[in-house]
Structure 1
Amino acid sequence: MAEEVHLGLPGPWAADYREKADHYTTKIGGVPDWPTGDMGIKPEMLQCSLCGTKLCLVAQVYAPVVKLNIEERIIYVLVCPTPECGPRPQSWKVLRVQKCRNVEQTEGDGDELGQGTGPSSTSVPEEQIDKNKSHDINDDDFDLDALAEALEQAATLASNSKKKNKSKCANAPIERPVLKEKPADLSIPVLPCFYIYYDKEQYRVKGAVGSSSNEFPLDKEMTDTGNYEEEKWDGEKYEYDKAIGADRTFLKFKKRLDAYPEQCFRYSYGGKPLLAATKVQDAGTCRFCGSPRQYELQLMSPLLYFLHEAGKGSSNYGPSNWTWLTLIVYTCSKSCCPSSCGGRPCGCCWDVAEEEITIQEDEAV
């Protein structure tokens, strides 16, 4: 069974490239929408490691992981906007931002929920019940008229007391937290911004039954193409080897790209990347927990086209010298939280981790 791949396709353009959304929004360009105003991100994490320039957002992807019970999770892909640094791998950064998971459970939750700190109004010691039962009560011992009068006076005092308290509080202002909107940082470079919608990639592999307009037999076509080109170019093997189009890995990449020519990124958590070249850089392990990193998403070259088109006269920054075919993002397979909550209940704070990104270039350029 083929792995499920979600394609990020271009939606509407933002009216203002700096317009604010929320962290549930998936988009290309614009400004990062952080989940909270106080993320505690160190300044160097948002600066180019080569020249120190502030990084600009390339992609913001809302990426919850159901099987790990992580709903609040976002991937931010950033790059240095300067022409000198932009094409170099060291100028790219990937930040994984997520809310800490609830890994600690309160002991005895079921037993403690109904218990208070003081004595219960309905709880009467068993000894007292027996004691009350043992005494014979004679109605003649009580002056019922005096008792009724005393109860009426007590009720009147209680009513007057409530009215006084109510009148004192009626005009009191209700305190509500005032959320001050953080002013936009105009020093942050901004790429043209458009929003993303998803579509599932449809294709069939070798041996699959049935077809549709969106399906194509990759394995069979790759084999047929390889045999055909080998026979046709037998006398010109040198040119064949040097041509990038002759690379079977690239041919497969091109086939999947041509099926959805507007795909800006591909998402398949824990799946396999669509490689443009056979040489793959090792993703390594998580620097915090030591778990192996796994593939999560990759940016695709059509993204460059849309940014180029929108950047004509409407943005100071653009990918004028980017030549990559795909950018592959690898993240911690456990999606760990790098820091603790400092004694606070888990799930109360946000954490930031830097992940790995690799670049596959267009070698023909």
Structure 2
Amino acid sequence: MDPYDSDSSGMEDDAGDYTETNVLLGYAADEVSDDSISHLGGWPTWLDPATPPPGDFAKCRVCNNPMLLLLQLNGDLPKHFPHDERWLYIFGCPRKTCTSKPGSIRALRGVKKHKINNNSSKQQKQAQDVPQPILAEQEKPKQDLGASLFGAAPSTQGQSANPNPFSSSSSPAQPNPFASLSPPSTLAAKPPQNPFSATPAAAAAADSLPETFAEKARLSSPPPAKPAKQPAGPPLPWPPQSAFPKPYPHYHLDAEYETLSRPSSPTLPSTSQPVTIEEESSSAAGGAESKDTFESALDKSFLRFSTRLAHNPEQVLRYEFRGTPLLYSNTDAVGKLFSQSSSANNSHLKVSSAAGNGNRIPRCQYCGRERVFEVQLTPHAITVLEEGREGIGLGPNDDSGMEWGTVILGVCAGDCGLEQDGVLGWREEWVGVQWEERVARK
């Protein structure tokens, strides 16, 4: 299997023995980053502290107990939604009794829409309000947002039309910490492991939004958003912190564009050997556990998943708005939603993005628009979040522990929200969880 056969997009030649993709990787960091909003674990904070999400969103659909925050992400996308403030959240139930059950992991999107009058006099006034040094700085090429937020290395791809919170490009739109580009990466010839050396962020206008993890990614222009529907019914209050279990440790997020090593000759992982007819027969005779082991060995998606992550094993998340997720398996219910678009991407070395097309994610229940992939959590996030949490009691005969292979977030392509200018609206988004396969160990 060629190590470049994967579901991510935009891979291109780079200096030395490495290749860079459009996927922005997130790393857990103890050091404070330029993005004070995005983080792994800890307690959630709200875009508008006076308007927390409805309390029902805090509860696991299985046990009805409050869940813990896995990820909070500043998802501002100036090129896609220039007048929207948007934050993303993924919550998970820490109880093992809820593992592998639908509704034990949920996601929210908070969005505040600002109406902008295309009035020339107003635009002139806004320009006058911006200090001249800042205006001069804005005329310069945008620097890599991946480098400004999360300490991501500058992109080697040059200016791009892909506005992503983890990667920004030159544009009159406000910058997003996860979206920017410029000079060649200084880390391209090194194994890309959790770099923390951030370059200073470019000066931003006084009224510009903070750079976010989402702005650092290269994205394609989105279709115009459709009008959003108003939510019905009064919300229940968000539970107090005392109602939640002990939170996962709080980590800041550092970011770096994914780089892949270029071996002289593609090889299969040493643990992946061809399976003979005799082995298949003996597996079938060995019972259900042996059959599961055999089927797992044949799962090419898992081999591709593990091989791809091995290039950057410390990554805790992968971000590419309108991209294609890296599947843990293509045989489960979630994998089948993407398998059609994923199989089309397995070209040699050059990988084209599905750009949200071809997936069968359920449409947005609020506005009816399609949903597109934005971010996914990787298995290393479990290692980071659960470190030191052994023996934390959550109830009689229960214990903490996560057992998923990846958590995939699909969001409304139109970023629907409340129609009122500047009013925060909450939307529950689609989460696809690919649970860890229970492979028999001898």
Give the alignment's TM-score, normalised by structure 2.
Answer: 0.53
Q: Which has the larger share of helix?
A: 1
Q: State the SS of the aligned residue for 2:97.
A: coil
> In structure 2, which of residues 256, 267, 282 is the aligned counterpart of residue 199 of structure 1?
256
Residue in 1 aligned with 2:371? Answer: 293
Shift of 1:298: 0.7
Residue in 1 aligned with 2:61? Answer: 49
Residue in 1 aligned with 2:427? Answer: 353
Change beyond 3 A, Cα 1:77–1:244 = same
- Is 1:6 the counterpart of 2:6? The answer is no
- Structure 1 gap ranges (5+): 15-20, 114-183, 204-213
Provide the C-alpha distance between the structure 2 equivalents of 1:107 and 1:88, rounded to a whole number of angstroms.
51
Moved more, 256-265 or 86-95: 86-95
Q: State the SS of the aligned residue for 2:407.
A: strand
- Is 1:272 the counterpart of 2:272? The answer is no
Change beyond 3 A, Cα 1:322–1:72 = same
Alignment of 1:63-102 (within 5 A): 63-68=75-80, 69-70=82-83, 72-102=85-115
Shift of 1:307: 2.2
Residue in 1 aligned with 2:382? Answer: 304
Q: State the SS of the aligned residue for 2:315.
A: coil
Residue in 2 aligned with 1:322? Answer: 402
Q: State the SS of the aligned residue for 2:387.
A: helix
Change beyond 3 A, Cα 1:196–1:245 = farther
Shift of 1:291: 1.0
Q: State the SS of the aligned residue for 1:257.
A: helix
Identity %: 24
Rg larger for = 1
Change beyond 3 A, Cα 1:10–1:302 = same
Shift of 1:30: 0.7
Provide the C-alpha distance between the structure 2 equivalents of 1:187 and 1:24, rounded to a whole number of angstroms.
25
Whether the aligned pair in 2 keeps the contact of 1:307 and 1:319 (CA below 8 Å) is: no
Provide the C-alpha distance between the structure 2 equivalents of 1:70 and 1:49, rounded to a whole number of angstroms.
33
Over the aligned positions, Cα root-mean-square deviation in angstroms equals 3.5
Whether the aligned pair in 2 keeps the contact of 1:308 and 1:319 (CA below 8 Å) is: no
Per-residue Cα deviation, 1:108-131 (whole angstroms, up to 9, x for no partner): 856998xxxxxxxxxxxxxxxxxx
> In structure 2, which of residues 405, 416, 429 is the aligned counterpart of residue 336 of structure 1?
416
Whether the aligned pair in 2 keeps the contact of 1:76 and 1:95 (CA below 8 Å) is: yes
Provide the C-alpha distance between the structure 1 equivalents of 2:35 and 2:111, rounded to a whole number of angstroms.
10
Provide the C-alpha distance between the structure 1 equivalents of 2:53 and 2:436, rounded to a whole number of angstroms.
34
Whether the aligned pair in 2 keeps the contact of 1:13 and 1:193 (CA below 8 Å) is: no
Give the alignment's TM-score, normalised by structure 1.
Answer: 0.64
Letter in 2 for 1:236: E
Change beyond 3 A, Cα 1:110–1:199 = closer
Provide the C-alpha distance between the structure 2 equivalents of 1:112 and 1:12, rounded to a whole number of angstroms.
43
Residue in 2 aligned with 1:253? Answer: 305
Residue in 1 aligned with 2:47? Answer: 35
Residue in 1 aligned with 2:184? Answer: none
Whether the aligned pair in 1 keeps the contact of 2:84 and 2:113 (CA below 8 Å) is: no
Per-residue Cα deviation, 1:150-196 (whole angstroms, up to 9, x for no partner): xxxxxxxxxxxxxxxxxxxxxxxxxxxxxxxxxx7333331222221
Shift of 1:361: 1.7
Residue in 2 aligned with 1:236? Answer: 279
Letter in 2 for 1:340: E
Whether the aligned pair in 1 keeps the contact of 2:301 and 2:330 (CA below 8 Å) is: yes
Shift of 1:237: 3.7
Provide the C-alpha distance between the structure 1 equivalents of 2:124 and 2:318, rounded to a whole number of angstroms.
48
Provide the C-alpha distance between the structure 1 equivalents of 2:312 and 2:94, rounded to a whole number of angstroms.
28
Provide the C-alpha distance between the structure 2 equivalents of 1:185 and 1:349, rounded to a whole number of angstroms.
25
Letter in 1 for 2:428: E
Q: State the SS of the aligned residue for 1:186.
A: helix
Per-residue Cα deviation, 1:281-317 (whole angstroms, up to 9, x for no partner): 442101111111111111111111122323247x667
